[in-house]
Amino acid sequence: MAKINFGGIIEDVITREEFPLKKAQEVLKNEVVAVIGYGVQGPAQSLNMRDNGINVIVGQAPEFKADWDKAVKDGWVPGKTLFSVEEAAKKGTIIQYLVSDAAQRAIWPILKPCLNKGDALYFSHGFSITYKEQTGVIPPSDVDVILCAPKGSGTSVRRNFLAGAGINSSYAVFQDYTGRAKERVIALGIAIGSGYLFPTTFENEVYSDLTGERGVLMGALAGIMEAQYKVLRENGHSPSEAFNETVEELTQSLIRLVDENGMDWMYANCSATAQRGALDWLPKFREATLPVFRELYQRVKNGDETRRVLEKTGHPNYRADLDAELKQMRESEMWQAGQQVRNLRPKHK
């Protein structure tokens, strides 16, 4: 393991240099990796592994025709490399359980009997295991239970892989029956194209992930954008000006500077007026949002968020309700303005 200094805190991470693809291929040479679910993470992880020479099959319920057809389009062959969930799980020695959290609870009674002694049950989210009292996902004692969680969407996992880069991933071992669980999960992390791997636990992964999604990554980001846009519009600014100052400059300029060299570097490369104002207002926003984040983390830790997710996603009308919520967001003035602004961007030659 490489020891990396994160602001005075030393962490052990695993890089491609110390665990190259060739080593991962050797570890996995006698394995059949069955990727269960061809929705969000399934396509990216399975295609990356296939491109990296790993023996991969896909398990997907044929009745979900869109996902089945997508798998066929991506080159998975029915009866050879594409099977029903149950058939793929029986064939696999490593079962990557990549359906949604709600679906994991629903199909667990079908999947569990397909696990054989010495198999590995792989997750990319700690949800089902951490909240097993609510999900009912309790693995048998004679299998490895492992986790590799890319810190990005399936689209980003695939896109970065094709670009020769990688999404960083966390990894964890919940149950080591074979004595090879850690070796297996690290090899899988390399095979799916991770940039580097850092250790976690199933609990820490899901606590940080649920907090992040509801917070800075999605919920807080969208909420703050809506609030600033609303204030600008209330004070007479046009939709174009309000959107550009709220979203476009962030996504097309500033966040790229942060990505390159960090927040301080972004500040250093902005005007003195912007620097001073941002530094003065940063603590106000921090103190205003700290209570919200503390409440959010506690709700994640005590299972309240899990109960809400399972209740909402398990409702028969969930898909229609979700489409209605997303339609409302899409048709809001701010995001309609965003569509027009994106259309006006200069096209690459």
Residues annotated catalytic, as ranges: 125
Distances (CA, A) of 62 to 66, 154, 188, 303: 9, 21, 26, 33
Instruction: Give the SS3 label for residue 78.
Output: strand
Phi and psi, residue 317, nearest 5°? -95, 15
Would the CA dihedral through 151, 156, 160, 162 be positive or negative?
positive
User: How many other CB atoms are there within 10 angstroms of residue 130's CB atom?
Assistant: 25
Order of all β-strands in the sheet with 56-59: 2-6, 9-15, 196-199, 169-175, 144-150, 120-123, 94-97, 33-36, 56-59, 82-83
Distances (CA, A) of 269 to 58, 83, 260: 47, 53, 12
Residue among 95, 135, 133, 101 at smallest CA distance from 113: 95
Torsion of CA 87, 93, 99, 102, to 10 degrees: 90
| Inter-residue contact 102 to 308 (CB < 8 Å) | no
Strand partners, 57: 34
Strand partners, 150: 169
Tokens read off for 79: 């009866």
Torsion of CA 32, 127, 223, 325, to 10 degrees: 80
**In angstroms, rounded to a whole number, what is the distance separating the alpha carbons of residues 165 and 143?**
32
